[in-house]
Structure 1
Amino acid sequence: MLKGLLFDLDGVLTNSAKFHLTAWNNLAKELGIHLTDAQLDSLRGISRMDSLNLILKYGGQEDKYSEAEKEKFAAEKNAKFVEQVETMTPKDILPGIPELLADAKKQNLKMVIASASKNAPKILTRLGIMDEFDGIVDPATLHHGKPDPEIYEKAQEIAGLKANEVISFEDAKAGVESIKAAGQFAVGIGDKELLKEADYIVPSTADLKLSEIEKVFEEK
């Protein structure tokens, strides 16, 4: 029986993912690394340091910088991202999400954020939906990034539920893999081929209908 919903943040509840990708792309250029669209897209849903290490790998610069230098790069990127976050308003909530959250509230479903972003509380506050959620996974407590299941297992733990009692929402391949590794029902938002491991896929958040997702969830 469905008792809770677990959400990634960037690209699922709001379009802050574009701010992340722009900030990472600008940093990569400063380091003399030119990312392809596919390489940039692969940064979705993974942690800050994992993203930076991947960029350096793409540029053949894995061993060029010390950990202290990497921390400095990550901090610079985050400062630029936060500048963009400060411009966000409730208008930046993606289509279909307000209705989905309202339907979940009517059913008294637990709702938890499973995002690798350390800025999740700030973003949710800017969007005006912080109070809708029962908890947020603290990325500082995580030892492994997506596609490892840890973040979704922690979100499930915060909700106080079992794997077969939750539905989790993601827009990234690594995120869907994380959900499935945690033994949960995955809703993928975006490209059908990229997110093919998900149990239910929609092209955009505007297509999310809780009643329809629940039907498939109950059949599984």
Structure 2
Amino acid sequence: MKYQGIIFDLDGVLCSTDRFHFQAWQQTAREAKAPFDEAVNQRLRGVSRMESLEIILEASPLTFTPEEKERMAEEKNERYRRLLRQMTPADMPNGVREALESLRAAGLKLAVGSSSKNARFILERLEAGQYFDAVCDGTQIARSKPHPEVFLKAAEMLGLPPAVCLVVEDAPAGLQAARAAGMDCAGVGGADWPFAPAYRLEDVTTLPAVLRG
């Protein structure tokens, strides 16, 4: 097989927490008197919490100090984590666990590479941590996607060079981060990709068959 390691983004690839993010950010936008809809929400995919807040505040008529922004971001995260407690193993879509088991059986090392600081908590709620040899999340990086740091660190944690790792992503920022890391990328879903990923997947369940050719 061409690859020795697979690095998965979490949200939108292995599960979906979009509804929780939307609800949590919606309250932040109300506080800032800023418009918030699905188009704005889509711009937040794959970027850090503080960068997401800045995107929301672009349309706010109010001005906030750095301290107020920190408070707003922290309050959003607390709302989000309360909502995440609703997650169960059933929130991992059908067939994803089987796909991960198939990839592991093929001898591949698996990692999660996510900008989210809640990645480990989400994996815990999904009861999915056992599938991964490494987890690199937002608590371990200084720069979020499209910077390649999260993927480079995940590869390092797997003990593999970037060239033999495949990234699985659903967001344009993740695709750009994979290229910057020197890794191929499998794009999940119908995002408006800035350039063509190495593979296009409807969802993760098809990945084992795609890699077998």
Secondary structure of the residue aligned to 1:169 is strand
Q: Is the 8 A contact 2:172 2:191 kept in 1?
A: no
Secondary structure of the residue aligned to 1:112 is strand
Task: Write the distance in 1 (CA, Å) between the matches of 2:59 and 2:198.
Answer: 31
Q: Report percent identity of matched pairs.
A: 34
Instruction: Report the CA distance between 1:211 and its aligned residue.
Output: 2.6
Secondary structure of the residue aligned to 1:158 is helix
Matched, 1:27 2:25: no
Task: Write the distance in 1 (CA, Å) between the matches of 2:8 and 2:137.
Answer: 14
Instruction: Report the CA distance between 1:17 and its aligned residue.
Output: 2.8
Q: How does 1:20-59 map to 2 (within 5 A)?
A: 20-59=21-60
Secondary structure of the residue aligned to 1:80 is helix
Q: Is the 8 A contact 2:110 2:133 kept in 1?
A: yes
Task: Write the distance in 2 (CA, Å) between the matches of 1:40 and 1:69.
Answer: 21
Secondary structure of the residue aligned to 2:40 is helix
* Per-residue CA distance 1:8-39 (angstroms, 9 max, x = gap): 11111111133112211221122111134322
Q: Which residue of 2 aligns with 1:218?
A: none
Instruction: Report the CA distance between 1:212 and its aligned residue.
Output: 1.2
TM-score (norm 2): 0.92
Q: Is the 8 A contact 1:7 1:114 kept in 2?
A: yes
Q: Which residue of 2 aligns with 1:74?
A: 73
Task: Write the distance in 2 (CA, Å) between the matches of 1:21 and 1:116.
Answer: 17
Which one-letter code corresponds to 1:16 in the other structure? Answer: T
Q: Which residue of 2 aligns with 1:149?
A: 148
Task: Write the distance in 2 (CA, Å) between the matches of 1:185 and 1:214.
Answer: 16
After alignment, is 129-138 or 117-126 more displaced? 129-138
Task: Write the distance in 2 (CA, Å) between the matches of 1:88 and 1:184.
Answer: 31
Instruction: Report the CA distance between 1:203 and its aligned residue.
Output: 3.0
Cα separation, partners in 2 of 1:193 and 1:49, compared to 1, 3 Å: closer
Instruction: Report the CA distance between 1:157 and its aligned residue.
Output: 0.9
| Count of paired positions | 212
Cα separation, partners in 2 of 1:60 and 1:171, compared to 1, 3 Å: farther
* Per-residue CA distance 1:67-114 (angstroms, 9 max, x = gap): 211111111111111111111111000233112101111022111111
Cα separation, partners in 2 of 1:67 and 1:163, compared to 1, 3 Å: same
Matched, 1:83 2:91: no
TM-score (norm 1): 0.89
Q: Which residue of 2 aligns with 1:128?
A: 127
Matched, 1:213 2:176: no
Cα separation, partners in 2 of 1:182 and 1:16, compared to 1, 3 Å: same
Q: Is the 8 A contact 1:35 1:58 kept in 2?
A: no
